[in-house]
A and B are shown apart, each in its own frame.
Chain A
């Protein structure tokens, strides 16, 4: 027997079994309608759950992107300071993030797909539930219990099949979302542990940042010092070494603390 036929027979058998038959078939209509509304609520909740997971994955992707941009900037800064080793370290960390980011993008696309499918499923079910409700009221108003049976069977078969389909779709979406949530949890932990160095922890900074900061404050000192030397050299003439032979250093008066300014030349050696 063909695959399609086998699946439909199994489906129908399950749907029939799911149908609790009451003494009066018209009561079965109300009971089924109640179950349809419950399923409708369930599928809508499913849509909301998948959307929540999708947003979480999007947030993580944004965090990783931010971190990746920061590492690029660090690599540029490190290179401009002639520290190729630090630049290499920053880019190595960035390449580890790239893999995770593409994984997150794939997850996001998959969750988006699930969300759209479930949204359409909920719209289809809603339309069918509505049309079942209309038929149910007609049957209850126009037929006796005995007469109603055939009509009821007709109304039921279509909706039962839809309910089986939607129930399965919700289940599959939940399973997929649960798998992704486990992975999302692992990435959250990674971010929290500082292994990815959450970019929001600006005060702490990471080791690359600290080293670059140390280097740049050092180079600030050096460049300021060079400026001072150049300034005094301008007044005394010749090279920065001329400072050592100069007693009058007007620009240094503003930079150095009072009292230390006119001390012995050994102070200047200490600064250089």
Chain B
């Protein structure tokens, strides 16, 4: 599957890693819900690092769309929350 980290690019990650990524993803989601800043930045770091190490980067010229999209590494908790709302950060 293709995973995009916003502001960084796309990685091709084999499906074997999906379960592990889902665990890390759930931690980020929970931290956003509970407005737990410290856990948020730690778990987001962990999730993004896992994608970077498990996946191989797609070439710049590839035009594939992603199965999963992750927030940028320097995103704040509020930004992620806003991203999940319809009129959020994502332009369009």
A interface with B by C-beta (< 8 Å):
2-8, 10-12, 14-15, 17-18, 117, 120-121, 123-124, 126-128, 130-132, 135, 154-155, 157-162, 164-165, 167-169, 171-172
Q: Are A161 and B26 in contact (CB under 8 A)?
A: no
Can you list 21 A-B contacts with CB-CB less than 8 angstroms, sorted by A residue number?
A: A2-B25, A2-B29, A2-B68, A3-B28, A3-B80, A4-B3, A4-B21, A4-B70, A7-B83, A11-B69, A127-B60, A131-B62, A132-B63, A135-B63, A157-B64, A158-B65, A161-B4, A162-B63, A168-B6, A168-B7, A172-B7
Q: Could you tell me the distance in whole angstroms from the C-beta of A4 to the nearest C-beta in chain B?
A: 4
Task: Report yes or no: A18 in contact with B92, Cβ–Cβ below 8 A.
Answer: yes
- B9-37: contact bitstring with A at CB < 8 Å (1 yes, 0 no)? 10000000000011001101100100000
With A11-B90, A164-B90, A164-B92 known as contacts, the answer to whether A5 contacts B68 (CB < 8 A) is yes
Residues A12 and B60 in contact, CB atoms below 8 Å apart? no
Q: Please, how many angstroms separate the alpha-carbon atoms of A159 and B66 in the complex? A: 11
Cβ-defined partner of B62 (8 Å) among A15, A158, A169:
A158
Which chain A residues border B55 with CB–CB below 8 Å?
Answer: none
Tell me the B24-57 residues at the A interface (CB within 8 Å): 25-26, 28-29, 32
Interface of B is mostly: loop
Whole-angstrom distance between the Cβ of A196 and the nearest chain B Cβ: 31
- Cβ of A128 and Cβ of B7 under 8 Å apart? no
- Which one of A10, A18, A121, A169 contacts B86 once the chains associate, using CB atoms below 8 Å? A10
- Cross-chain contact A123 with B83 (CB below 8 angstroms): no
B side interface size, CB within 8 A: 35
Query: Count the A-B residue pairs with Cβ separation under 8 angstroms: how many?
Result: 104
Partner of B91, one of A155, A159, A164: A164
* Bound complex: CA A130 to CA B60 (Å): 10
A167 to B7, CA, bound (A): 10
Known contacts A6-B84, A7-B71, A165-B7; A124/B92 CB under 8 A:
no
Contact for A123 among B60, B86, B88, B91, CB less than 8 A: B60
Cβ–Cβ < 8 Å partners of A120 in chain B: 9
Alpha-carbon gap, A132 to B60, bound state (A): 12
Residue of B nearest to A14 (CB): B92
Contact B25 A4 (CB under 8 A): yes
What's the Cα separation between A132 and B63 when bound, in Å? 7
Closest to B5 in A: A165
Tell me whether B65 and A157 are in contact (CB under 8 A): yes
Q: Assess the B92–A3 pair: CB atoms within 8 A.
A: no
A123 to B61, CA, bound (A): 10
Binary contact readout B75-87 vs A (1 if CB under 8 angstroms, 0 otherwise): 0000010011010
- List 8 extra interface pairs beyond A164-B92, A171-B89, CB under 8 A: A8-B68, A10-B83, A15-B92, A17-B92, A128-B63, A130-B61, A157-B63, A171-B91
